[in-house]
Amino acid sequence: MLFSLAWKNIWRNKKRSLIIILAAALGLWGSLVAGAVWMGWGESMVNTAISRNLAHLQIHKKKYIQNKEIINFIPDGSQVLKKVRTLENVHAVSGRALVEGMAASPTSTFGVKIVGIIPAEAEKVTDIHNRLVSGNYFQSSSRNPIVIGKKLAERLGLKLHSKIVLSFQGLDGSLIYAAFRIAGIYKTDSSIFDQSNVFVQQTDLFRLLNSKPIIHEIAIRTETSAVLPQVYEKIKSLYPDLDVQTWNELAPEIAITSAAMESFTYMFLMIILFALLFGITNTMLMAVMERIRELGVLIAVGMKKGKVFAMILLETTLLSITGGAAGIAIGVLSIAYFSHAGMDFSFLASGMESFGAATIIYPTLPLEMYVALPIMIIVTASLSAALPAWKAIHIQPSSAIRTY
Residue 404's pLDDT band, with cuts at 50, 70 and 90, is low
Whether residue 55 lies inside any domain: the answer is no
Examine the fold and report which residue of 190, 212, 240 is the final residue of a domain before the chain moves on: 240
Q: Measure the CA–CA gap between 123 and 125, rounded to whole angstroms.
A: 6
If you average pLDDT over residues 77-103, what whole number do you get?
A: 95
- Is 204 exposed, middle or buried (CB count within 10 Å of its CB: 0-12, 13-18, 19+)? middle
For the cut 60, the answer to whether the pLDDT of residue 66 exceeds it is: yes
Q: Measure the CA–CA gap between 206 and 212, rounded to whole angstroms.
A: 7
Domain count, the chain: 2
Whether residue 58 lies inside any domain: the answer is no
Whether residue 135 lies inside any domain: the answer is yes
Residues 178 and 232 in one domain: yes
For the cut 70, the answer to whether the pLDDT of residue 399 exceeds it is: yes
Residues 32 and 111 in one domain: no
If you average pLDDT over residues 279-296, what whole number do you get?
A: 78
Whether residue 249 lies inside any domain: the answer is no
Residues 208 and 308 in one domain: no
Q: What is the pLDDT of residue 4?
A: 79
Residues 78 and 224 in one domain: yes
Q: Measure the CA–CA gap between 16 and 23, rounded to whole angstroms.
A: 11
What is the domain range of residue 307? 2-49+255-403
Distant-in-sequence, close-in-space partners of 357: CB < 8 Å, separation ≥ 6: 41, 44, 45, 48, 189
For the cut 80, the answer to whether the pLDDT of residue 320 exceeds it is: yes
Contact 365, 35 (CB under 8 A): yes
Contact 97, 216 (CB under 8 A): yes
Residues 96 and 195 in one domain: yes
Residues 78 and 204 in one domain: yes
- 42, 96, 111, 179 from 165: Cα distances, Å: 37, 21, 12, 4
Examine the fold and report which residue of 210, 240, 270 is the final residue of a domain before the chain moves on: 240
Q: What is the pLDDT of residue 400?
A: 65
Return the percentage of the chain with pLDDT > 90, whole number: 46
Top mean pLDDT of 28-37, 156-165, 247-256, 363-372 is at 156-165
Q: What is the pLDDT of residue 359?
A: 76
Contact 223, 91 (CB under 8 A): yes
Whether residue 57 lies inside any domain: the answer is no
Whether residue 197 lies inside any domain: the answer is yes
Examine the fold and report which residue of 240, 270, 297 is the final residue of a domain before the chain moves on: 240
Residue type, 267: M
Q: What is the pLDDT of residue 96?
A: 97
Whether residue 245 lies inside any domain: the answer is no
Task: Tell me the β-bridge partners of 132.
Answer: 186
Whole-prediction pTM: 0.77
Residues 308 and 388 in one domain: yes
Residues 75 and 220 in one domain: yes
- Backbone φ and ψ of 250, nearest 5°: -75, -35
Residues 232 and 324 in one domain: no
Residues 231 and 362 in one domain: no
Residue 47's pLDDT band, with cuts at 50, 70 and 90, is confident
Q: What is the pLDDT of residue 167?
A: 96
Whether residue 54 lies inside any domain: the answer is no
Residues 293 and 385 in one domain: yes
Question: Which of 292-297's residues contact partners 24+ apart within 8 Å by CB, and which partners?
Answer: 292/395, 292/400, 292/403, 292/404, 293/400, 293/401, 293/403, 293/404, 295/392, 295/395, 295/400, 296/395, 296/396, 296/397, 296/398, 296/399, 296/400, 296/401, 296/404, 297/397, 297/400, 297/401
Residues 293 and 381 in one domain: yes
